[in-house]
């Protein structure tokens, strides 16, 4: 009735939809049922916790996908209502900085295109992301986190749903990740979720998964919605089609 034999199943999603197909794949693996033959994820949400990765920090000045909107979308995703969110809103407390923030900024900024040329899939993960064995406040020792402190009492009172691997695929165990099918990731260099996607690709590669990562330049999160407006978005959408065809020919 649906016009398909189901011999080949490829899941495609963007943003929260990409997060959904990553969760479906994890559930299929954990329940021992058939997993998809391939995945195509466009600017996926891979880490739902609040973190200060460089791309997230850039969202403070992002007019398209602002830090405040990300926060509101996260609460809606987890069905966190205002009355249950009072503890969370006071979870971060500012400490007096021990050194000037301005003094820590490099005088010569590194061009973003040069940064992407140096991405190493085998390099260690940045400390902006915790592992499944780390405690919630394990990143406090990192210099990048020295301006924030988590209260122990608030940790006990508030359970962070973002620590579930189904919500944050970046936290999935190696035993699950190594069973992932071929996957193609397409990210945008102006997306607050960029760093999360790169870290997820590196983790998949470390577990011998067939993964390919494309980073398109000068485009924001949700660029597929702009295909009729900008030629850059149209080119990016053609990359999605080519990666989908690549997986179809592979399976």
Tell me, letter by letter, the H, E, C secondary structure of 51-109: CCCHHHHHHHHCCCCCHHHHHHHHHHHCCCCHHHCHHHHCCEEECCCCCCCHHHCCCCC
Residue 95 domain-assigned?
no
What average pLDDT score do residues 138-164 get?
55
CA dist., res. 194 & res. 18, Å (int) = 14
Tokens of 70: 């990300």
Of 196, 200, 194, residue with least CA distance to 216: 194
How far is residue 198's CA from residue 54's CA, in Å, rounded to a whole number?
12
85 has a pLDDT exceeding 80: no
Least confident stretch, 19-23, 28-32, 95-99, 162-166: 95-99
In a domain, 151, yes or no: yes
Residue 40, classed as helix, strand or coil, is: strand
The answer to whether residue 103 is domain-embedded is no
Domain residue limits at 34? 10-82+145-250
Q: What is the DSSP letter of 120?
A: -
- β-strands 38-42, 10-14 pairing: parallel
- The answer to whether residue 23 scores a pLDDT higher than 70 is yes
209 occurs within a structural domain: yes
Over the stretch 106-148, which tens digit does the pLDDT of each residue have?
Answer: 444 444 444 444 455 555 555 556 554 444 444 444 555 444 5
Across 58-62, 86-90, 101-105, 221-225, least confident range? 101-105
Flag whether 134 is in a domain. no
Residue 22 falls inside a structural domain: yes
- CATH code for position 77: 3.40.50.1820
Residue 79: pLDDT above 60? yes
**Tally of structural domains, the chain:** 1
Report pLDDT digits (tens) over 49-66: 888 888 888 878 776 777
DSSP class of residue 149 equals: E
Answer whether residue 118 is part of any domain: no
Mean residue pLDDT across the chain:
77
């Amino acid at each position: 009735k649906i016009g398909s034999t189901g011999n080949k199943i490829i899941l495609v999603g963007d943003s929260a939809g990409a997060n959904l197909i990553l969760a479906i794949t994890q559930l299929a693996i954990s329940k021992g049922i058939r997993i998809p033959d391939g995945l195509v994820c466009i600017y996926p949400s891979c880490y739902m916790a609040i973190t200060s990765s460089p791309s997230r920090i850039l969202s403070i000045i992002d007019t398209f996908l602002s830090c405040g909107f990300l926060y509101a979308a996260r609460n809606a995703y987890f069905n966190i209502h205002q009355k249950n969110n009072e503890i969370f809103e006071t979870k971060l407390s500012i400490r007096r900085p021990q050194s000037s923030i301005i003094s820590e900024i490099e005088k010569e900024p590194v061009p973003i295109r040069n940064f992407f040329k140096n991405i190493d899939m085998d390099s260690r993960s940045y400390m902006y992301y915790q592992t499944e064995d780390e405690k919630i406040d394990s990143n406090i020792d990192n210099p990048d986190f020295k301006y924030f402190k988590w209260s122990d009492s608030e940790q006990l009172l508030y359970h962070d749903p973002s620590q579930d691997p189904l919500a944050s695929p970046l936290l999935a165990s190696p035993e699950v990740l190594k069973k992932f099918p071929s996957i193609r990731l397409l990210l945008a260099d102006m997306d607050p979720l960029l760093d999360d996607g790169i870290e997820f690709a590196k983790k998949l590669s470390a577990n011998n998964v067939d993964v390919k990562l494309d980073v398109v330049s000068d485009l924001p999160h949700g660029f597929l919605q702009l295909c009729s407006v900008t030629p850059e978005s149209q080119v990016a959408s053609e990359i999605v089609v080519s990666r989908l065809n690549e997986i179809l020919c592979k399976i």
